[in-house]
Amino acid sequence: MATIKDVAERAGVAPITASRVINSSGYVSDETRRRVEAAIKELGYVPNRIARSLRSKQTYTLALVLTDITNPFWTTVARGVEDVASEAGFSVILCNTDESEGKEHDYVRVLLQKQADGFLLVPAHSASRSVALIQAQQVPLVVLDRTVPRAVDTVRSDSEGGAYQLTRHLLVQGHRSIAMLSGPREVSTAMDRVAGYRRALDEAGVDGDLRMVIYGAFTQAGGYAMTKQILALDPRPTALFAANNFIAVGAFRALREAEMCVPGDVALVAFDDLPPTFLMDPFLTVAAQRAYEMGQTATQLLLGRLSGADSSIPREVVLPTDLVVRRSSHRQSTKNRSDINDLS
């Protein structure tokens, strides 16, 4: 296996010069850089990351701890993280917690033992023990998508604002009885989306008996179970608001089993989009999150902390959502819409 000395000898330079090229440190002329890079390619030289880590006290790894990697939203976030990290010379260790706080905490302990340089964490619970553990070890941390009651860097979407937009859209279509299929109460995004839903209904003067929030899991099974509860009601709501995309998939399945049409029998909207590979017709009206941008932004913030360039004051970056109107949100007749024309 080629060494840095072999590279230096092939390029006709001193080992320290070859090191400067390999580690992008210090001045090297363009001609010298080309010779060293050609030698690296010819010899198939691979830098010794272990030795580099011992010298710099860095492992050049970032830990990405997500809640459900099967969800396309998190897959896209992970791609944003990986692209930025790779460009900066960092590898990414990906862990999936299945929304389990215990599993999350176990992963964090192992990753701390392996001396990950920084963490990108989606906490399964607002009162996350993992956040406290990482901060106690003084390891840089960015919380993704959710908030925790601690001073920590956070990158998230405007869940409250996006939910407000979606609910307001349903109101403009003529819906008054709108049920919200929410995530768990202990997760900040679920509560933010409930808050946006309620704000829109408050502004429209919708009576309390036309409101309904059911709390469940951010999963297809959760959406299916919550929709089954809705279908048992008489009268049923005319519109369903799924608090994430997987809840919407489960809701759609329950409606199909009940031989109900979307949007003919009931409208369905969701927070967060689905890729075209999810064959749901009609495609959903959604508040689309900027998932790739979330991953990019969080990683850039974390790398800034690692470089020591950023201040010590915790930062919160709130990304906007985009209302995407498709056929799943039913427009009712204008006679049902006269009392909310001021919303349009």
pLDDT digits (tens, 9 = 90+) for 328-338: 997 654 444 43
Q: Once rounded to an integer, what is the mean pLDDT over residues 301-310? A: 86
Dihedral angle sign, alpha carbons of residues 298, 300, 306, 308: negative
Name the residue with higher pLDDT: 65 or 57.
65
| Two domains, one topology: 4-47 and 58-157+290-320 | no
Q: Rounded distance, CA 112 to CA 136, Å?
A: 11
- Percent of the chain, pLDDT > 70? 90
Output the CA–CA distances (angstroms, integers) from residue 190 to 127, 218, 253, 338, in the order listed: 14, 9, 22, 31
Fold of 4-47: 434 Repressor (Amino-terminal Domain) (1.10.260)
DSSP one-letter code for 284: P
Tell me what the mean pLDDT of segment 216-220 comes to.
95
Q: What angle do CA 248, 251, 252 make, to 5 degrees?
A: 85
What mean pLDDT comes out for the span 146-161?
A: 95
Q: What would the two tokens of residue 289 be?
A: 């999150």
pLDDT value for 331: 64
Measured between alpha carbons, how far is 59 from 73 in angstroms, rounded to an integer?
28
Distance between first and last Cα of the chain: 69
Calculate mean pLDDT across residues 77-88: 94
pTM above 0.85, yes or no: no
| 3-state secondary structure string across 11-45 | HCCCHHHHHHHHHCCCCCCHHHHHHHHHHHHHHCC
> Which superfamily is assigned to 58-157+290-320 in CATH?
Response regulator (3.40.50.2300)
Q: Which fold has domain 159-289+323-343?
A: Rossmann fold (3.40.50)
273-293 pLDDT, tens digit per residue, is: 988 777 666 789 999 999 999
Query: Are 269 and 247 in contact, with CB atoms under 8 Å apart?
Result: no
Cα atoms in the 13 Å half-sphere on the side-chain side of 339: 10
Q: What is the reported pLDDT for 338?
A: 38
Give dist(CA 322, CA 301) in Å, integer. Answer: 23
- Over residues 92-99, the mean pLDDT reads 94
Average pLDDT across the chain, whole number? 88
Q: Render pLDDT for 58-78 as a digit per residue (tens, 0 to 9).
A: 788 999 999 999 999 999 999
Strand, helix or coil at 212? Answer: strand
The two tokens of residue 243 are: 């608090």
For the sheet with 211-215, list strands across it: 211-215, 178-182, 239-242, 267-271, 285-288, 322-324
Q: Is the pLDDT of residue 51 over 70?
A: no
Asked if residue 321 has pLDDT above 60, the reply is yes
Distances (CA, A) of 177 to 192, 200, 205, 282: 20, 13, 12, 21
| Interval 96-100 mean pLDDT | 93
Q: Which of 83, 79, 85 is nearest to 59 (CA)?
A: 85
Res 226 pLDDT > 90 = yes
Beta bridge partners of 95: 65
Summarize the confidence of residues 123-131 as an average pLDDT. Answer: 87
Task: Identify the residue whose tokens are 């199909």.
Answer: 256
- Domain ranges for the chain: 4-47, 58-157+290-320, 159-289+323-343
pLDDT value of position 23: 74
Output the pLDDT for position 57: 66
Residue 316, C-beta contacts closer than 8 angstroms, at least 6 positions apart:
153, 154, 155, 156
- Which of residues 250 and 3 earns the better pLDDT score? 250
